[in-house]
Amino acid sequence: MCGIAGFISLDGPRDRPWLTHLGTTLTTAMAHRGESAAAPYVSADGTVMLACVRLAVRDRSAAGDQPMASPDGRVVLVHNGEVYGSRSPAPPPWPTRTSCDTEFILQQVSRADDPATVLRPLDGMFALAWHDNHSGRTVLARDHFGIKPLVYTYTDGGVLFASEPGALLSTGLVAAETDPEEFVLRAWVRMDAADDRTWLRGVRALQPAEYLVLDPPHARTHRYWLPEPEDTPVTAEEIRAAFDASVSRASVSDVPRAAVLSGGVDSSAVLAGLRAADVPAHPYVLRYQDGIGGSGDDVEHAQVVARRLGLPMTVCELDRETAAELVPALPQRLMRPLLHGAELAMHRLYQKVAENGQVVVYSGHGADEMWGYQDGRYFPVVDPAAPTHVHGRHYLTHHLHPDERPAWARLVEWLAQGLDVDMAAVREQVWERVMGEYRALDTLDPVKRGRLHLMRRFLVYVNDMVDATSSTFTLEDRPVFQDVTLAELAFRCPEHLKNTGEPGSHKELLKSALTDLLPTSVLRRSKQGFPSPTDTGYRRRLLDLADAHGRPFGLPPLPPGLREELGVGEWMFLASSAAWLEHLGTLRTGHTASAAGAIPLGAGIGAAP
C-alpha cells in the first residue's frame, strides 16, 4: 500500500516550483500511508506532476521508489496497492531492474496504446497513474473491485487526484464542503457507494474497473471490465483451484503478515489457506466489552480455528468508552459520517496489528457478495420479463431501504425536511445513479443484477472503509476473495447452485469447495455480520455525544417521538455527522486564516515551465 497523488494541467504549463510544492503538500497529508516519499516528478513541459508516499512491501530497496520512470524516461508511473501479475503479460521492454510490482506494471503500460488491454488481465489491487511524455497522455486507473481508492477533482484548470479526499483538501484548492442533497442521498442508501460522487462537493471517485484518460484539454472515463453473466455449472473443484491460486498470488511479501479472523467461513478459509501454503500470518479477532454485538461468538469460533491451525491468536478488546471516543474522531479519516459501526472494529483491529509490527493483513472481504446473499432480503425478486427501465423501480426506490431500516428512513426524511431537500428527487436519484449497476448486466436475472450491484456498490463501501482504517496505521489489507478469476466463476455460475435452499443455508457451494480447510462448527455457523456495539449503555453514550455536538447543519432538536425511536446506529450517525461537519468547518477556517501558507488558486497558471 502507498499513497499516490498528482496534478494534470488541461490548459497549459504551470510554474515548476508550484507543482513541486503541490506534490509535497499532498504526500505530507498522506504520510501515514507509507514510510517515505521521494521527490515529486514534474514533466519537462510543466503540465504534469506525479507524487507518491511509499510503503515498501516487496523489494524494500530504493530501487522500488516512486515515481518510477522507464529507462528512456518516456513513461512515469505512481502506484498504490499490489499487482501480483497479469493473465496476459506483454514481453518486458527492458531487463527487469527490481523485484517489485511497480516495475512490472511500468513495463506493461509502456507497451500498450490501449490501457484496457493492460488493465483487464492484471491480478491484484491497484490505483495507478502514468504519464507518457511522448504522447502527452496521462491515465488514472482503479482495480476491478475498487479495493484501492482514487479520488479526483477538476480545479485550477486541471485535474487534481489523490488516494484520499483529505489530501485534496490539504492543498486549499478544494472546498471542504458537502452538498445537503448529496448528504441526504448517501445517508438514505447508507452502506452503498453511491456512484462516482462522494460526500464532498466536487470530489469524484474513480469507479472500479475504470480508467480516466487525460489528453489535454480532453478527459474521458472508460470501463475496462465487467463480468459476463452466464448459466454454466461451476464445480467446487474449479472454485477451490481459483481460491488456492489467489492465496498463492497474495502470499508474496517481504514484511510480517497478519490476518483478520472472525470465525466465519471467509476469514477462516483465508487463514487456513495461508497456513496450508506455509505462509506465516498471525490472526486477530475483535471483541467488544461483554461480547456485545455478537463479538463474543466471533471470538469463540475464531479460537476453534486458531487451535486447529496451531496458531496463537490475539483478541483485540474494545470497551464502550473507547468506541464512543472514536465516533467523532473517525469521520476525519473516513471523510464521511459513521454508517454502520464496523468502522470502529476495523480501526481497533488494525491499530493492534500495527502495534505488534505486522504490515500486510489478509481478510475475507468480498466472498459474501460473490457467493452468498441469495435469500431475497438483499435482492428484490421482480418480474424477470419486465422492461429494463421499470425493472423493480418502485420497490428499489421506495421500499428497499426503508423496509430494511425503518427508523433510519424516518431519520433521513426528517433531515431532508429540515434541509429543504426533496425526497422524491432523492428517490429518483437512487434509481438513476445508485441502482445504475443493478441494470448494467445484459441479463434479466434479478439475482445476478443484484450481485453486480453488491460488487460495485456495497463492496466498494467496504473497501473504502478498510482502506481508510488500515492506512491510518500504515498497513496493507489484502482481500483474497476479490480475485478476477473467482469473480468470473461466480458470475458464470447459475445462482440456484450456490445455495441448497435449506433454512439458514448460506454460500453452500463455496463451503463445499473449502470444506477441508474449515472446522465443522464454522461450516455450520449461521451468517453473522461484522460486530458492532448494540447495548443500551452505548446508546446512552452516543445520545449524549449527539447532544453535545448538536444536530448536523445546525438543525433543530428531533421530535420527541423520533428521538425515542432511534437506536445505536442512528445516534452514531447523528453524532459523527455533526462532528464531521464541524471538522470541515475547521478546515475551511484554517485555509482562510493561513492563506499565505496555502497554495493559492491560479498561482501556476500561464507560468513558464
CATH number at residue 472: 3.40.50.620
Q: Please report whether residue 597 resides in a domain.
A: no
- 290 belongs to an annotated ligand binding site: no
Q: Please report whether residue 602 resides in a domain.
A: no
Grid coordinates standing for 196? 462516482
Dump strand ranges (E) for 55-171: 68-69, 75-86, 122-132, 138-142, 151-155, 158-162
CA–CA distance, 148 with 125 (Å, rounded to integer): 6
CA–CA distance, 557 with 162 (Å, rounded to integer): 37
Grid coordinates standing for 312? 496463537
Same domain, 204 and 317: no
- Of 163, 195, 225, the last residue of a domain is 225
Grid coordinates standing for 270? 483465508
- ∠ CA(177), CA(179), CA(181), 5° rounding? 165
pLDDT at residue 379 in the model? 62
- Of 205, 225, 245, the last residue of a domain is 225
Domain that holds residue 89: 2-225
Same domain, 6 and 105: yes
- 364 belongs to an annotated ligand binding site: yes
Same domain, 326 and 369: yes
| CA neighbor of 21 nearest in space, from 39, 33, 43, 3 | 39
Same domain, 220 and 310: no
Same domain, 366 and 483: yes
Residues 6+ apart with CB under 8 A from 454: 369, 373, 378
CATH number at residue 14: 3.60.20.10
Residue 569's alpha-carbon distances to 16, 251, 488, in angstroms, are: 48, 36, 35
Q: Please report whether residue 130 resides in a domain.
A: yes
Q: Is the alpha carbon torsion for 160, 39, 80, 106 positive or negative?
A: positive
Same domain, 243 and 175: no
Give 567: exposed, middle or buried? Use CB within 10 Å, 0-12, 13-18, 19+.
middle
Q: Label the pairing between strands 204-205 and 210-215.
A: unpaired
Is position 316 annotated as part of the catalytic site? no
| CA neighbor of 552 nearest in space, from 520, 575, 527, 583 | 575
| CA neighbor of 70 nearest in space, from 93, 90, 48 | 93
CA–CA distance, 398 with 388 (Å, rounded to integer): 17
Same domain, 66 and 139: yes
What b/e string do you get for 315-352 counting C-beta neighbours within 10 Å, with b at 16 or more? bbebebeebbebbbebbbbbbbbbbbbbbbbbbbbbbb
CA–CA distance, 586 with 217 (Å, rounded to integer): 34
pLDDT at residue 324 in the model? 93
| CA neighbor of 37 nearest in space, from 77, 83, 4, 71 | 4
- Of 168, 191, 225, the last residue of a domain is 225
Other Cβ atoms within 10 Å of 245 Cβ, number: 15
Same domain, 333 and 476: yes
Give 236: exposed, middle or buried? Use CB within 10 Å, 0-12, 13-18, 19+.
middle
CA–CA distance, 524 with 571 (Å, rounded to integer): 34
Give SS3 for 501.
coil
CA contacts within 13 A on the Cβ side of 231: 8
pLDDT at residue 606 in the model? 39
Residue 535's alpha-carbon distances to 289, 540, 543, in angstroms, are: 10, 9, 13
Which residues in the chain show pLDDT less than 70?
A: 374-391, 502-505, 592-609
Q: Please report whether residue 529 resides in a domain.
A: no
Grid coordinates standing for 388? 429494463
Number of domains in the chain: 4
CA–CA distance, 22 with 173 (Å, rounded to integer): 10
CA–CA distance, 6 with 10 (Å, rounded to integer): 13
Give SS3 for 400.
helix
Same domain, 58 and 175: yes
How many residues in the chain?
A: 609
Q: Please report whether residue 77 resides in a domain.
A: yes
Same domain, 422 and 554: no
Q: Please report whether residue 541 resides in a domain.
A: yes
Set 2, 52, 100, 493: catalytic member: 2
Eight-class DSSP state of 270: H
- 363 belongs to an annotated ligand binding site: yes
Q: Please report whether residue 440 resides in a domain.
A: no
* Residues in a beta bridge with 48: 8
Other Cβ atoms within 10 Å of 85 Cβ, number: 14
CA–CA distance, 172 with 164 (Å, rounded to integer): 14
Q: Please report whether residue 158 resides in a domain.
A: yes
Residue 532's alpha-carbon distances to 196, 293, 536, in angstroms, are: 28, 5, 13
Same domain, 32 and 175: yes
Same domain, 402 and 495: no
